[in-house]
Amino acid sequence: MPPLVALLLALASATTLASTKRVTVPIALPFQQHSSASASAVATAAEPSAHGLQTTQFTQTAPAPIASSAAASSVAAPEPVPIPLTLPRAQVAASQAQSSSRPAAPLATKPPASSAAAKPASTTPAVAKTAPPKPAPEPAANIPLVTTAPIKAPRYPSGHPEAFVAEFEDYVAKKIAPFVPGVAIVVVSGGQIKSLQGYGVRRAGTREKVTPDTVFRLASLSKPVAATAASVLVHEGGISWDTTITSVLPKVSFKNAKYGKQLTLRHALSQSSGLPRHTYSHYIDQNMNYADVVNRLRYVNFVCPPGKCYAYQNVTYSLAGDMIKQKSGMSFESYVGKKIFEPLGMRSASYGLNSYNASPNRAAPHIANGNRWVPTAVVANWYKVAPAAGVNASIVDMSKFLLGQVGRRQDALPLAVLKPIQSRVTKNTPEQNYYGVRKAVGNTAYGLGWRVFDYGRNKNFVHHGGHVKGFRTEMVFNRELQIGMVFLSNSETRLARDVIFKFLDMHERAQQAARAKKQ
């Protein structure tokens, strides 16, 4: 070979080797830096607002880019980029397209470690397949900022029949209020409001005081509101207590078709559906859509025929709201607003999380952390069963609801509306009514949205309580005695368990002292 030709071939070979090194070594690092920058941009765009109330724990993985040379395949692929499902579809698709736009290495001898990286991004992102559709949220009610002066209990000497009002007020102020973030009470005696008080703060660590107009979540104390609305519709002739569920809601089906066709509005509201106790309440805890939960009722075995046994429910109870919606021609929430809240003057009462957040004077929920109460996030899932647990209200609102239930607002709630729901329908035990083993409690039952029991020498007390994360509520009254009490707290205090019987015992002692004084 001539020397000149050999020299030219050597130079060409050296140039090729130098070129190969420039392509192989530097290409991986800039590539990873580019992918990391893209990931950072996506993560920044996907970060939820600090004010967001709900986030999702689920993510999808964007495909990792494939190296564009055989040498690059020996460099570790960048980590997959987690993309929250709340990202807009277009943004997810753009991110996937950007990370998969580089050509695959033709000389790669094995696939990348990530299966997601082995496939090009689909034009339809996985978000559309995995994210369940969410129903449109209820619009927030227009909650006014109301200022109501508290009412201090009158002070009577021992032996006066109404001395129990001040005694109960003092009990709450001294034995409960110091040990909870906040609490509000109303006491009715002689058919009139004798005490209306707020104690403590709306949020621990602040000076935002609980006032009579502070809004709390009612939790299961919402059930009597729904039952009262149903009774109004029955009274107006829009529905019957014996109207069957499937005749109004034909898409609702049950495993036992015979029993399913027998289920009525009365059964739903009297907790006598025949289904197992708390059927599918755990799905509400898991934040499943209400419609999906109802659709699963077709898989549940009955434990007794409808109307033959007591079993507390939330999901089947809420079917009453769906029936009201169909028969009234308006949403359940709108019907309650028109027939209950507005006539009674419950100006701060509302349904749903949006309305709770729109309340300018609202109590934050609290949970125990060691020996102190700490604010916690609002649990939105139980708002999905609005008839069972969806009401927000202040103690002023509840004072008006209480007066209505004891028969002092017959222009809005006539006795024909009150008697059916406050009467015994489904027999149960004191334990099933959460009354423990108190010897004075007897003749317990569930009415329509209300618990009914006798206590000592007095008959027909009507009661319901509620509990959702960070809140406890209790309400008890006796229409014949014209007394009643409502208790609201922004904590899960155990003291709420005894508050209704403290109230009833104080009332009975005052009556006994008054009778003894007359002798």
| pLDDT score at 61 | 29
CA dihedral 432, 438, 442, 447 (to 10 degrees): -40
* Count of helix runs (H) and strand runs (E) in the chain: 18, 15
Percent of the chain with pLDDT over 90: 70
Name the nearest CA neighbour of 96 among 50, 35, 5: 35
Residue that is written with structure tokens 């753009």 in the block: 94
Q: Name 260's Cβ contacts closer than 8 Å, sequence gap at least 6.
A: 245, 246, 252, 253, 254
Name the nearest CA neighbour of 331 among 82, 111, 138, 48: 138
| pLDDT score at 56 | 28
Chain center to CA of 294: 17
For range 209-214, the mean pLDDT: 98
Q: Tokens standing for 27?
A: 């290409």
| pLDDT score at 27 | 30
Alpha carbon of 237 to those of 224, 248, 288: distances in Å?
A: 20, 15, 34
Residue 62 has pLDDT above 60, yes or no: no
Residue 419 has pLDDT above 80, yes or no: yes
Over residues 112-144, the pLDDT tens digits come to: 333 333 333 333 333 333 444 555 666 777 888
| pLDDT score at 136 | 60
Amino acid making up residue 341: F
pLDDT, averaged across the chain: 81
Q: Tokens standing for 495?
A: 């003291």
Residue 449 CB burial class (10 angstroms; 0-12, 13-18, ≥19): buried
Residue 29 has pLDDT above 50, yes or no: no
Give DSSP secondary structure letters for 193-218.
Answer: EEEEEEEEBSSTTS--B--TT-EEE-
| pLDDT score at 144 | 82
Whole-angstrom Cα distance, residue 79 to residue 35? 9
| pLDDT score at 145 | 86
| pLDDT score at 112 | 34
Q: The sheet that has 391-394: what strands, in order across it?
A: 215-217, 391-394, 350-351
| pLDDT score at 396 | 98
44-58, 211-225, 375-389: the lowest-pLDDT one: 44-58
Residue 52 has pLDDT above 60, yes or no: no
| pLDDT band, very low/low/confident/very high, at 187 (cuts 50, 70, 90) | very high
Q: Tokens standing for 116?
A: 């997601």
Q: Tokens standing for 490?
A: 């922004």
Give DSSP secondary structure letters for 463-519.
Answer: EEEEEETTEEEEEEEETTTTEEEEEEESS--TTHHHHHHHHHHHHHHHHHHHHHHH-
Q: Tokens standing for 302?
A: 């009955």
Over residues 249-308, the pLDDT tens digits come to: 999 999 999 999 999 999 999 999 999 999 999 999 999 999 999 999 999 999 999 999
* More confident position, 517 or 361: 361
| pLDDT score at 211 | 98
Whole-angstrom Cα distance, residue 16 to residue 430? 91
Task: Give the start-end residues of each E strand in 30-85.
Answer: 59-62, 81-84
Residue 377 has pLDDT above 60, yes or no: yes
For range 389-398, the mean pLDDT: 98
Check residue 74 and report its DSSP letter: G
Check residue 165 and report its DSSP letter: H
| pLDDT band, very low/low/confident/very high, at 73 (cuts 50, 70, 90) | very low
Which pTM does this prediction carry? 0.74
253-257, 333-337, 421-425, 514-518: the lowest-pLDDT one: 514-518
Residue 254 CB burial class (10 angstroms; 0-12, 13-18, ≥19): buried
Q: Name 58's Cβ contacts closer than 8 Å, sequence gap at least 6.
A: 85, 130
| pLDDT band, very low/low/confident/very high, at 45 (cuts 50, 70, 90) | very low
Give the CA count within 13 Å in the CB-facing half-sphere of 263.
30
| pLDDT score at 514 | 95
Whole-angstrom Cα distance, residue 502 to residue 168? 8
Q: What are the beta bridge partners of residue 465?
A: 474
* More confident position, 50 or 395: 395
The continuous run of DSSP H or E covering 446 comes out as: strand 441-446
| pLDDT score at 24 | 34
3 state SS of 455: strand
Residue 202 has pLDDT above 80, yes or no: yes
* More confident position, 6 or 30: 6
Give DSSP secondary structure letters for 5-18.
Answer: HHHHHHHHHHHHHH
Residue 249 CB burial class (10 angstroms; 0-12, 13-18, ≥19): middle
Percent of the chain with pLDDT over 70: 73
Name the nearest CA neighbour of 161 among 501, 486, 482: 482
| pLDDT score at 437 | 83
3 state SS of 143: coil
| pLDDT score at 142 | 82
Whole-angstrom Cα distance, residue 66 to residue 83? 19
Residue 223 has pLDDT above 90, yes or no: yes
| pLDDT score at 141 | 75
Give DSSP secondary structure letters for 311-348.
Answer: ---SHHHHHHHHHHHHHHSS-HHHHHIIIIIHHHT-TT
Residue 47 has pLDDT above 90, yes or no: no
* More confident position, 379 or 124: 379
